[in-house]
Structure 1
């Protein structure tokens, strides 16, 4: 009798209790035919694989985004907390006055209301000083104007461009420029093909195995 009331999941093709079948999002119009376990795995794969919090419903043809309340309703506590942390970091990155501390061991960040008028930003957590205007560790003994002038007049201009627009492959050192897309990078040098996170250079093989805790603490994808 129990088997007669079970439903089959469209993704894992297993028959399960109807109580495990919930609307993936509050805006979905299709039948509730994907089990919550598969939805959890779908969310987890997007967080770990792409670091993406804008996750679409896995139902074929459905483009509805799984929003914060949907994740809280469906996912287990550990997965929801990870989603919540990464969502917060994504939101902070969109705030123009927010800066992450440049101390790689810190992982804190703050809004600098004085902006360019008072470019020295002191981290409230560790005390490290950074430049709000250039988003780099504070350039001691130089004003922002002097820092820019030196960059233009010397080889530092090239280094500044490379530092700002490119990142070295952690394995072979080849400078790579990111042109849109996600933060999962693959070195284009065929003999290398190293996969890493654009934001913190963490090894993506480790991230696949152990999740987003393998990102560096200063990375917006770390959880």
Structure 2
């Protein structure tokens, strides 16, 4: 008989899930959703599992994944922390200069990253291609000198440089804003796709009343919540749980993993 266990020290409800199911729940949250805030699957509880419970209830490989995602999340919250964009490097570091000096050299692999545009710098190059393109555009733009600039070339050069720098900052700000919007749109699109895939994988029809059921708890023992239904069945093979309760697991479908 499957043993039901306590999921978290914060859970106040009766033990209603087996260790195998909670292990699958933890793996799904980490591997499929990249979520480190793993909650109790009981819809009336939803308390967050502490690290020691995640370690206790999951495999060694999954717990290592949990620790890595937790570290990445913590580092990403630090101001002025940037990840190296070399695809063969998983390091990162503090870069206090930010946009004022956007080229960061990784202390781990020595590759360069532009933190302003989130671009890797090609080997042998000292600047970001996108920054260079913007600067070149302003350098090549024709300008009509003012009267004071005609009579004072030194003042003209200084003023022109200030205008170029100001326009460069404005263009970079607009460029960064558009890039953030594009990234947010892409994130929203990916989240919609993941949500649809999650709903498709977690929703089935009740064998009795044909109502849609979303699996929001970890165990495969399901109960239809539709009005005047309450049918209990196995999520995997749709076997009637009344028969299973009375006669045992031989009433699961022979292809079901619970069949015995």
- Calculate the aligned-residue CA RMSD, in Å: 3.7
1:27 aligned to which of 10, 20, 38: 10
User: Do structure 1's residue 52 and structure 2's residue 35 form an aligned pair?
Assistant: yes
Q: 1:67-146 to 2 correspondence within 5 Å?
A: 67-113=50-96, 119-132=102-115, 135-137=118-120, 138-139=127-128
CA distance in 2 between counterparts of 1:110 and 1:76 reads 30
CA contact (8 A) 1:99 1:109 kept: yes
CA offset at residue 111 of structure 1?
2.2
The structure number with the bigger radius of gyration is 2
CA pair 103-29 structure 1, distance change in 2 beyond 3 A: same
CA distance in 1 between counterparts of 2:180 and 2:12 reads 45
Q: Which is worse superposed, 142-151 or 76-85?
A: 142-151
Question: Which structure is higher in helix share?
Answer: 2
Structure 1 residues 60-118: Cα deviation after superposition (integer angstroms, max 9, x where no partner): 30021012111011111111111111111111111112101122332321223555675
CA pair 160-22 structure 1, distance change in 2 beyond 3 A: same
User: Do structure 1's residue 176 and structure 2's residue 185 form an aligned pair?
Assistant: yes
Please give the TM-score of this superposition, normalised by the length of structure 2: 0.50
Q: Which has the higher contact order (CA 8 A, sep 6+)?
A: 1
CA distance in 2 between counterparts of 1:184 and 1:43 reads 21
- Specify the SS of the correspondent of 2:28: helix
Correspondence for 2:179? 163
CA pair 148-73 structure 1, distance change in 2 beyond 3 A: farther
CA distance in 2 between counterparts of 1:93 and 1:63 reads 25
Structure 1 residues 175-219: Cα deviation after superposition (integer angstroms, max 9, x where no partner): 93546xxx8434xxxxxxxx48xxxxxxx9xxx9xxxxxxxxxxx
CA distance in 2 between counterparts of 1:43 and 1:96 reads 30
1:185 aligned to which of 191, 198, 215: 191
Correspondence for 2:167? 149
Please give the TM-score of this superposition, normalised by the length of structure 1: 0.58
CA pair 178-74 structure 1, distance change in 2 beyond 3 A: closer
